[in-house]
Amino acid sequence: MRVLNSERLAELLEEFTYRLGETGEAFNCIVVGGAALALSVRPDRPATEDVDVFAQLTPAATRLVKTMAQEHNLRDPEWLNAKAQTFMSPTASHNEQDLAVIFQHRNVVVRVLDAPSLFAMKCRAGRISKDGGDLVALADRLQITSIDEATRVMDDYYDGEELMKPHAREILKHHFRATRDPAT
């Protein structure tokens, strides 16, 4: 089994993009979640188990994902998947042209979600074991210094329809206090 750290993620996504592009298949996706953090905000982020994307996986893309999982001895045969779409804002319009392209070959384009949207999704997920470091890194990147500011970012993404998870709120409160008063 191969660990999916930022370097390994980049290698796999680059290979996926090239191989799928060579088939002539048109495919666009937006990398989100832990993989997006590792590729754009936290290159030192602990490994992630998979690559969550916003996309409709075509049959050719799905076959390639499974083939690459076998070839690279990956734990998850669906190492690239669209399971995180449940966290996608139904009202946010992701203008793909505004998102950073991380890989492109022929008609295959892989983008990474912007930091404010990632922050909102992590606030909504609010998992104790997985999201703490990501929330802190994103808050620092976005220069968010209060729960009110964090809530505004979340409201912008979810149009006020989702609440921050209590665990996310506590992680951020602790971080903001520690940032203001490092002695505590």
Same domain, 138 and 92: no
Same domain, 84 and 124: no
The DSSP element (H or E) to which 125 belongs, if any, is: helix 115-125
Q: What is the pLDDT of residue 178?
A: 94
Task: Give a yes or no: residue 17 inside a domain.
Answer: yes
Higher pLDDT pick, 95 / 161: 161
Q: Give tens-digit pLDDT for 124-155.
A: 999 988 899 999 999 999 999 999 999 999 99
Same domain, 102 and 127: no
Containing structural domain, residue 79: 6-113
Task: Give a yes or no: residue 144 inside a domain.
Answer: yes
Same domain, 58 and 89: yes
Same domain, 136 and 83: no
Q: What is the pLDDT of residue 92?
A: 77
Same domain, 109 and 173: no
Same domain, 44 and 92: yes
Q: What is the pLDDT of residue 95?
A: 74
Cβ atoms 50, 81 nearer than 8 A:
yes
User: Does position 181 have pLDDT exceeding 80, yes or no?
Assistant: no
- Report the C-alpha gap between 111 and 92 in whole angstroms: 16
Same domain, 63 and 91: yes
SS3 41: coil
Q: Give tens-digit pLDDT for 41-72.
A: 999 998 888 999 999 999 999 999 999 999 99
Mean pLDDT of 165-177: 96
Q: Among 113, 139, 154, which residue terminates a domain?
A: 113
